[in-house]
């Protein structure tokens, strides 16, 4: 670093995003007087092509070797400007950005304070940029395989696309079958395609694809490593059924001593299953599983004289000795497609979901109208006294969505249409029923949605604007208490059945995946994407991508589109076969390291090891960093007693001048 720093400063107007609260000309004028600054300019959009050309031209003409861009967050455009200066022959790490938009112009209102603060931030950046070091971007090989977590429609689609491109895919599903929520649906809006008919072929494809290793009834236990080189450990839970021997005939379930005793999860608890079960007839793989919590033999060690399932199984597939297995493999990229949970309406006790059996959720309705459901497609409910075919039906939208009282401010995006679809299906089955939908708004935004909404209204489905306050029982009827807000009329509407159009929530068990992959949540608590507009399938963890409702509520077309997007992004490192590794790694000054190994113990990545070196004729132990493992967090540096280990680009010598610059400029 003998070359004298010649700094170019570029202050962005960002249209008026910055210039309305920061006097950019004053900032540039101020910057010109800072030490080592050769050029200081402003431009309307620095990130635009002419903006970048401006920098490149100055580098050529003025021999600049350090660049400061005062604009938006480095989290937004640091890669853009790194590339721009690299194109002009300057090391891409000779760049510093002053965040005068997100952390200045957008959060302060007065131009005086905005300008003063922008000057300070810029000064700190100039102070630092002069002391940065040139770094080399290294690459390592990427494993040409991907892990997809969750085998609903999102996970299946991502897995199929990646596998079709010729890469190995490990598709991990927590439950015994692939298919996810979509498999539970009857028809899909607005086209009324049969959900199973369009999904089942994909489920089978996923299971049979030569490039897909399907791991059902399995959970990801451990993920180590980084983009290109993730080491994954998966727990295959014991099914107590030999996967290869089971033919899926179902004799075991028929003979089970606790036959049809337990609520079937797939039917939302409306149907019953045995302790050994197939979640649903089209389940893939068609292999039975024993539920250890309910199996008499697994629970009590005794089931009659001999377990019935074992007696009847013609292929001797039942294996009570089976234990969880672990599978380990390496992948280059990971797609998280873990889906959602439907909102639990018990959290809105005023709707009486826990009290009245004829108040049901939208998911339960899907199973009721499904020909393969527990009632074989007949809409029947128990009204507390008898089983009836309801004549008066009310559907309520926005249950658990757009509702701050339950902590969900967001719109779940699918309820407007699935409620309309269910109204249509009820009309189809019961032409005489009186159907009304209570709504706050109708959001029919997607392709074919408005047309479908129109069609349903013409099918004599009444839309009444009002958010019901209470549901209670009167005689054998349910009373929906609501105000029709279009006519300001309070109503007490007597009905036989209420369908709660429950919204979508982040999965209750998302925390596990979140911690495994270091993911964040957005304010709605779904997984946070790297950028809401431009990197909607990426996450802050390189090489980890999002697909489907794990990222936020969406319908099937949007889910499939995002799944394909995630697959395409995940394939970038796989297809390139190489990934860049972090250049901003820690480095040890072996001349001053005293070999205490504090850093070795602190490093979360075991990236530091002790080595023996010859120092002035003495054999001494010093720390050494493995650059492929170091992530550059810098925890080691804060612990080092002699300041010998330092993360590049975040050295003491680079941060202290920033502090000094901010302190001096009171």
Partner 1 sequence: MSANYEPNIVAFLCNWCSYAGADLAGTSRVSYPANIQIIRVMCSGRVNPLYVMNALQQGADGVLVSGCHPGDCHYMEGNYYARRRLGMLKDLMEFVGVDPKRFHMSWVSASEGHKWKEVVEKTVEDAKEAGPFEGFRRRQIDW
Please tell me the distance from the alpha carbon of residue 412 to that of residue 7, in angstroms, as a whole number: 50
Task: Say how many C-beta atoms besides its own lie within 10 A of residue 515's C-beta.
Answer: 10
Q: Is 16 in the site for partner 1 (CB under 8 A)?
A: no
Instruction: State in angstroms the smallest separation of the CB of 540 from partner 1.
Output: 6
Segment interacting with partner 1 (CB under 8 A) among 23-31, 104-112, 179-187, 403-411: 104-112
4 binds partner 1 (CB under 8 A): no
| 5, 116, 129, 420: residue in contact with partner 1 (rule CB under 8 A) | 116
Tell me, by CB under 8 A, how many residues bind partner 1.
61
Question: What does the per-residue mask of binding to partner 1 show for 192-231, with x meaning CB under 8 A?
Answer: ----------------------------------------
Would you count residue 106 as binding partner 1 (CB under 8 A)? Answer: yes
Q: Which stretch in 107-115, 376-384, 467-475, 558-566 sits in contact with partner 1 by CB under 8 A?
A: 107-115
> 303 to each of 287, 323, 545, how far by Cα in Å?
22, 19, 46
Shortest Cβ distance from residue 347 to partner 1 (Å)?
Answer: 22
Residue 633 CB, shortest distance to partner 1, in Å, is 4
Indicate the residue among 197 and 665 with the shorter CB distance to partner 1.
665
Binding-site member from 50, 515, 609, 642 for partner 1 (CB under 8 A): 515
Considering only residues 606 to 635 of the shown chain, the ones binding partner 1 according to CB under 8 A are 631-635
User: Per rule CB under 8 A, is residue 133 in the interface with partner 1?
Assistant: no
Part in contact with partner 1 (CB under 8 A); list of ranges 193-201, 420-428, 443-451, 601-609: 601-609
Q: Give 23-32 contacts, CB < 8 A, sequence gap 24+.
A: 23/111, 23/114, 23/115, 24/118, 26/115, 26/119, 27/70, 27/100, 27/115, 27/118, 27/119, 27/122, 30/119, 30/122, 31/68, 31/70, 31/119, 31/122, 31/126
Per CB under 8 A, 487 contacts partner 1: no
DSSP string, 159-216: HHHHHHTT-EEEEE-SSSSS-GGGGG-SEETTTTEEHHHHHHHHHHHHHH-TTEEEE-
How many whole angstroms separate alpha carbon 410 and alpha carbon 553?
Answer: 9
Kind and range of the H or E run holding 396? strand 392-399
Contact pick of 144, 637, 644, 645 for partner 1 (by CB under 8 A) = 637
User: Is 29 among the residues that bind partner 1 (CB under 8 A)?
Assistant: no
Nearest alpha carbon to residue 433 among 480, 396, 393, 462: 393
Binding to partner 1 in span 49-78, by CB under 8 A: 73-76
* Alpha-carbon distances of 487 from 83, 465, 467, 484, rounded to whole Å: 61, 9, 14, 6
Of 250 and 632, the one with the shorter C-beta distance to partner 1 is 632
Confirm or reject binding of residue 598 to partner 1 (CB under 8 A): no
**Quick one: which of 137, 476, 521, 606 contacts partner 1 (CB under 8 A)?**
521
Q: Which of 41, 101, 397, 443 binds partner 1 (CB under 8 A)?
A: 101
CB of 525 to partner 1, least distance (A): 8
- Does residue 596 contact residue 662 with C-beta atoms inside 8 Å? no
Which x/- pattern, by CB under 8 A, does the window 526-545 give for partner 1?
Answer: --x-----------xx----
Q: Which of 62, 138, 518, 535 binds partner 1 (CB under 8 A)?
A: 518
Cβ nearer to partner 1, comparing 57 with 518? 518
Asked if 513 interacts with partner 1 (CB under 8 A), we say: no
Q: Which residue of 451, 638, 641, 642 would you call a contact of partner 1, by CB under 8 A? A: 638
Interface region with partner 1, contact rule CB under 8 A, candidates 57-65, 148-156, 476-484, 514-522: 514-522
**Structure letter (DSSP) for residue 468:** -
Terminal-to-terminal C-alpha distance of the chain: 31
Q: Is 258 in the site for partner 1 (CB under 8 A)?
A: no
Question: What is the token pair recorded at 298?
Answer: 């697994």
By CB under 8 A, is residue 108 in contact with partner 1? yes
SS3 313: coil
Q: Exactly one of 310, 372, 434, 522 binds partner 1 (CB under 8 A); which one?
A: 522
Q: Which is nearer to partner 1, 372 or 589 (CB)?
A: 589
**Neighbour tally for 403: CB within 10 Å:** 18
**DSSP 8-state code for residue 437:** E
CB distance 412 to 401 below 8 Å = yes
539 token code pair:
């996450």
**Interaction with partner 1 in 562-591: which residues (CB under 8 A)?**
584
Is the separation of the CB atoms in 621 and 611 below 8 Å?
Answer: yes
- Within 446-605, residue ranges assigned H as helices are 449-458, 510-517, 556-576, 598-602
Does the protein bind partner 1 through residue 117 (CB under 8 A)? yes
For position 523 contacting partner 1 by CB under 8 A, the verdict is yes
The token duo for 536 is 């909607």
Which is it for the CA torsion 529, 531, 537, 543, positive or negative? negative
Shortest spacing between CB 418 and partner 1, in angstroms: 27
Residues that bind partner 1 (CB under 8 A): 35, 73-76, 99, 101-104, 106-110, 113-114, 116-117, 120-121, 124, 127, 130, 514-515, 518, 520-523, 528, 540-541, 584, 602, 604-605, 631-635, 637-639, 647, 650, 652, 655-666
């Amino acid at each position: 670093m003998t070359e004298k720093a010649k700094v170019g400063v570029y202050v962005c107007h960002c249209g008026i995003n910055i210039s309305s609260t920061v006097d950019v000309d004053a900032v540039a004028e101020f910057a010109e007087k800072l030490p080592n600054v050769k050029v200081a300019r402003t431009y309307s959009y620095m990130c635009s092509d002419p903006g970048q050309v401006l920098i490149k031209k100055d580098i050529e003409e003025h021999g600049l070797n350090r660049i400061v861009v005062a604009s938006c967050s480095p989290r937004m455009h640091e890669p853009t400007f790194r590339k721009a200066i690299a194109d002009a022959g300057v090391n891409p790490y000779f760049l510093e950005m002053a965040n005068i938009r997100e952390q200045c112009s957008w959060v302060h209102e007065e131009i005086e304070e905005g300008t003063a603060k922008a000057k300070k931030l810029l000064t700190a950046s100039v102070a630092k940029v002069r002391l940065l070091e040139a770094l080399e971007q290294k690459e390592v090989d990427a494993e040409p395989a991907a892990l997809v977590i969750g085998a609903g429609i999102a996970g299946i689609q991502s897995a199929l696309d990646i596998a079709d491109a010729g890469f190995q895919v490990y598709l991990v599903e927590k439950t015994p079958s692939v298919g996810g929520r979509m498999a539970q649906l009857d028809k899909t809006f607005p086209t009324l395609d049969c959900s199973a008919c369009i999904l089942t072929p994909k489920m089978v494809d996923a299971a049979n694809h030569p490039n897909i290793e399907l791991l059902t009834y399995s959970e990801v236990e451990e993920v180590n490593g980084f983009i290109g080189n993730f080491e994954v450990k998966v727990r295959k839970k014991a099914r107590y059924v030999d996967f290869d021997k089971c033919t899926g005939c179902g004799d075991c379930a028929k003979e089970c001593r606790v036959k049809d005793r337990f609520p079937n999860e797939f039917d939302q608890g409306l149907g019953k299953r045995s302790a050994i079960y197939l979640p649903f007839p089209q389940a893939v793989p068609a292999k039975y599983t024993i539920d250890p919590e309910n199996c008499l033999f697994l629970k009590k060690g005794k089931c009659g004289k001999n377990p019935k399932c074992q007696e009847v199984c013609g292929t001797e597939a039942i294996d009570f000795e089976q234990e969880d297995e672990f599978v380990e493999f390496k992948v280059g990229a990971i797609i998280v497609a873990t889906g959602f949970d439907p909102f639990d309406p018990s959290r809105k006790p005023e709707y009486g979901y826990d009290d009245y059996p004829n108040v049901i959720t939208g998911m339960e309705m899907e199973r009721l109208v499904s020909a393969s459901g527990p009632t074989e497609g007949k809409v029947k409910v128990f009204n507390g006294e008898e089983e009836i075919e309801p004549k008066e039906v009310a559907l309520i939208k926005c249950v658990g969505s757009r509702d701050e009282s339950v902590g969900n401010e967001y719109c779940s995006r699918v309820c407007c249409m699935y409620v309309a679809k269910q109204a249509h299906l009820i009309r189809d089955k019961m032409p005489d029923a009186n159907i009304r939908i209570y709504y706050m708004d109708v959001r029919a935004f997607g392709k074919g949605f408005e047309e479908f909404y129109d069609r349903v209204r013409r099918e004599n489905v009444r839309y009444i604007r009002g958010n019901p306050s209470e549901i209670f029982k009167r005689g054998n009827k349910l009373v929906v208490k609501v105000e029709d807000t279009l006519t300001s009329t309070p109503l007490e509407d007597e009905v036989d059945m209420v369908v709660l159009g429950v919204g979508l929530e982040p999965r209750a068990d998302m925390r596990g995946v979140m911690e495994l992959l270091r993911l964040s949540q957005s304010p709605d608590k779904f997984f946070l994407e790297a950028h809401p507009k431009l990197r909607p399938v990426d996450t802050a963890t390189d090489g980890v991508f999002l697909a489907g409702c794990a990222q936020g509520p969406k319908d099937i077309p949007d889910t499939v589109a995002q799944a394909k997007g995630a697959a395409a992004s995940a394939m970038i490192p796989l297809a390139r076969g190489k990934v860049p590794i972090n250049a901003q790694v820690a480095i040890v000054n072996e001349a001053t390291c005293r070999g205490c190994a504090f850093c070795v113990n602190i490093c979360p990545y075991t990236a530091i090891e002790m080595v023996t070196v010859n120092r002035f004729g003495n054999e001494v132990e010093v720390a050494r960093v493995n650059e492929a493992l170091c992530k550059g967090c810098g925890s080691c540096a804060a612990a080092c007693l002699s300041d010998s280990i330092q993360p590049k680009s975040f050295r003491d010598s680079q941060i202290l001048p920033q502090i000094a610059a901010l302190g001096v400029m009171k």
